[in-house]
């Protein structure tokens, strides 16, 4: 079965073609047109600008994809939420149009679910249901920080989420405070690793000891803001690295502690992370080390599948095949789409 994935929920326009044969995934095409360079000058994503570029990007991407949709595609999977409404509608309407012209079934995809299933693109053993579930699925991205208990494919129980900023949002805001570029996550990650000593100060770990599985990153960001504002030392590169390291230590502590507690409480067999922030090497090392002690296997997507991409949308189409309809033209974009509770 060959599935065409379409993604446009934020600032990446993406198309991908995957082939699934007996639970083996072949990534046939994977194209992403990133708008990072455009939004850099604004220090963040401007929705109106993102939408206009999606509209301009998709036809060149489709040309570059260079496939015969009529013969090379069995299903079309397209993101319909959550995300920026102006961005979502561009990809969704492209999906509807291709589905109409080529008479292919269209499957609407939840972007958060796709970040979870991005792991199935690489880790074939996850197709073994008995060994995989129950799973703790953790989405850490620019828009979301959520922990789900997944008892089976498509069965999600939201255990906790951020009560304010998403973790990626905190990375981007802290980068802005430290006069670093956008997106801040990868830059902070790199600078933090270059600081090899123990920082001379610590930032708070908000909500680390609460009994729930919620997070708060806004207060952490504000602590960085105030400390940087009142900083008496010379604000040189070495000091920025120390701030990055101290910030990342706080993030790792909070994420690891809550994930481990949830994994123990719900007696999961595996932990799966996904989303842009799951590319972070400090977070990967910390969570892998901490969970190894518990004998729980932790999975991360390949780095190229951590940020927004269309391969994860295509594979999520495979797991939502029951939503297959010939003419799914009434779907509307939902910027606040949630995963169905169970
Ligand atoms: O999943 P994603 O591409 O888009 C959303 O669905 O939000 O995530 C983007 C976020 C940005 O906030 C970016 O700074 C962050 O992922 N990010 C990272 C790293 N790479 C990307 N954060 C921390 N460390 C990284 N290496
Ligand atoms: Zn995303």
CB 259 within 8 A of CB 278: no
Query: Is residue 67 situated within a structural domain?
Result: yes
Task: Specify the 3-state DSSP secondary structure of 305.
Answer: helix
Q: In angstroms, how far is the first alpha carbon of the chain from the final one?
A: 29
CA angle 141, 142, 148 (to 5 degrees): 35
> Does an H or E element contain 282, and which?
helix 281-292
Rounded distance, CA 335 to CA 81, Å? Answer: 5
Query: Is residue 335 situated within a structural domain?
Result: no
Of the listed ligands, the closest to the CA of 273 is 1
- Are 113 and 189 in the same domain? no
CB 139 within 8 A of CB 275: yes
- Are 151 and 250 in the same domain? yes
Query: Is residue 281 situated within a structural domain?
Result: yes
- Are 75 and 187 in the same domain? no
Rounded distance, CA 57 to CA 33, Å? Answer: 7
What is the predicted pLDDT for the residue at 8? 98
Token pair of 79 as six digits:
């993101």
Neighbours of 47 (CB within 10 A): 15
Query: Is residue 201 situated within a structural domain?
Result: yes
Query: Is residue 340 situated within a structural domain?
Result: no
Q: DSSP secondary-structure letter at 215? A: B
Contacts of 29 (CB under 8 A, 6+ apart): 15, 16, 17, 65, 67
Per-residue pLDDT of the chain (342 residues; tens, 9 = 90+): 999 999 999 999 999 999 999 889 999 999 999 888 888 888 888 999 999 999 999 999 999 999 999 999 999 999 999 999 999 999 999 999 999 999 999 999 999 999 999 999 999 999 999 999 999 999 999 999 999 999 999 999 999 999 999 999 999 999 999 999 999 999 999 999 999 999 999 999 999 999 999 999 999 999 999 999 999 999 999 999 999 999 999 999 999 999 999 999 999 999 999 999 999 999 999 999 999 989 899 999 999 999 999 999 999 999 999 888 777 889 999 999 999 887
- Are 164 and 46 in the same domain? no
C-beta of 279 in contact with ligand 1 (< 6 A): yes
Residue nearest to atom 7 of ligand 1 (CA): 142
Of the listed ligands, the closest to the CA of 166 is 1
- Are 17 and 139 in the same domain? no
Domain hosting 64: range is 2-118+305-326
CB 29 within 8 A of CB 15: yes
What is the predicted pLDDT for the residue at 36? 85
CB 164 within 8 A of CB 218: yes
Query: Is residue 315 situated within a structural domain?
Result: yes
Token pair of 176 as six digits:
């802005």
Which CATH number is 185's domain given?
Answer: 3.30.420.40
What is the predicted pLDDT for the residue at 37? 87
- Are 221 and 259 in the same domain? yes
Nearest to 250, CA basis, from 290, 223, 226, 220: 220
Residue 168 CA to ligand 1 centre (angstroms): 5
What is the predicted pLDDT for the residue at 40? 86
- Are 151 and 228 in the same domain? yes
Query: Is residue 123 situated within a structural domain?
Result: no
- Are 87 and 178 in the same domain? no
Residue 71 CA to ligand 1 centre (angstroms): 35
C-beta of 43 in contact with ligand 1 (< 6 A): no
Indicate the number of domains in the chain: 2
Residue 330 CA to ligand 1 centre (angstroms): 31
- Are 146 and 86 in the same domain? no
- Are 27 and 48 in the same domain? yes
Rounded distance, CA 199 to CA 181, Å? Answer: 22
- Are 160 and 100 in the same domain? no
Kindly list the strands in the beta sheet with 106-110, ordered across the sheet, starting from the edge strand earlier in the chain: 24-34, 12-21, 2-7, 75-81, 106-110
Task: Specify the 3-state DSSP secondary structure of 187.
Answer: helix
Rounded distance, CA 255 to CA 140, Å? Answer: 10
Rounded distance, CA 77 to CA 105, Å? Answer: 9
Nearest atom (ligand 1) to Cα of 306: 1
What is the predicted pLDDT for the residue at 44? 82
Nearest atom (ligand 1) to Cα of 166: 12
Rounded distance, CA 283 to CA 13, Å? Answer: 27
- Are 135 and 108 in the same domain? no
CA angle 289, 290, 292 (to 5 degrees): 65
User: Which of 185, 303, 312, 316 has the most ligand 1 atoms within 8 A of CB, as the residue to mutate?
Assistant: 185
Residue 154 exposure: Cα atoms within 13 Å on the Cβ side: 10
What is the predicted pLDDT for the residue at 327? 74
Residue nearest to atom 4 of ligand 1 (CA): 142
Q: Write the burial class of residue 103 (CB in 10 Å: 0-12 exposed, 13-18 middle, 19+ buried).
A: exposed
What is the predicted pLDDT for the residue at 48? 92
Query: Is residue 341 situated within a structural domain?
Result: no
């Amino acid at each position: 079965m060959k599935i065409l994935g379409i993604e446009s929920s934020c600032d990446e326009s993406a198309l991908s073609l995957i082939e699934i044969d007996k639970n083996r995934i072949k990534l046939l095409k994977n194209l992403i047109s990133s708008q990072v360079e455009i939004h850099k000058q604004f220090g963040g994503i401007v929705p109106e600008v993102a939408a206009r570029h999606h509209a301009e990007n998709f036809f060149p991407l489709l040309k570059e994809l260079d496939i015969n949709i009529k013969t090379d595609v069995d299903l079309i999977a397209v993101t319909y939420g959550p995300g920026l409404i102006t961005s979502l509608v561009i990809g969704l309407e492209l999906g509807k149009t291709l589905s109409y012209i080529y008479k292919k079934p269209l499957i609407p995809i939840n972007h958060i679910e796709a970040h979870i299933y991005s792991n199935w693109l690489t880790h074939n053993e996850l197709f073994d249901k008995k060994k995989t579930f129950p799973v703790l699925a953790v989405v850490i991205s620019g828009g979301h920080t959520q922990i789900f208990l997944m008892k089976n494919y498509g069965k999600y129980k939201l255990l906790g989420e951020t009560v304010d900023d998403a973790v990626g949002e905190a990375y981007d805001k802290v980068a802005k405070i430290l006069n670093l570029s956008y997106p801040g996550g990868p830059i902070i990650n790199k600078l933090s690793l270059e600081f090899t000593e123990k920082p001379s100060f610590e930032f708070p770990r908000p909500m680390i000891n609460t009994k729930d599985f919620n997070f708060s990153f806004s207060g952490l960001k504000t602590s960085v803001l105030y400390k940087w504002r009142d900083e008496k030392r010379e604000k040189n590169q070495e000091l920025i690295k120390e701030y990055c390291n101290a910030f990342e230590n706080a993030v790792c502590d909070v994420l690891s502690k809550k994930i481990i507690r949830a994994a123990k409480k719900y007696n999961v067999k595996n932990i799966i992370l996904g989303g842009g922030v799951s590319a972070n090497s400090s977070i990967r090392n910390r969570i892998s080390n901490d969970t190894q002690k518990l004998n729980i296997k932790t999975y991360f997507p390949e780095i190229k599948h951590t940020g927004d991409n269309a391969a994860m949308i295509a594979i999520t189409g495979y797991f939502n095949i029951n939503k297959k309809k010939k003419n799914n033209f009434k779907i509307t974009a939902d910027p606040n789409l949630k995963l169905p509770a169970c």
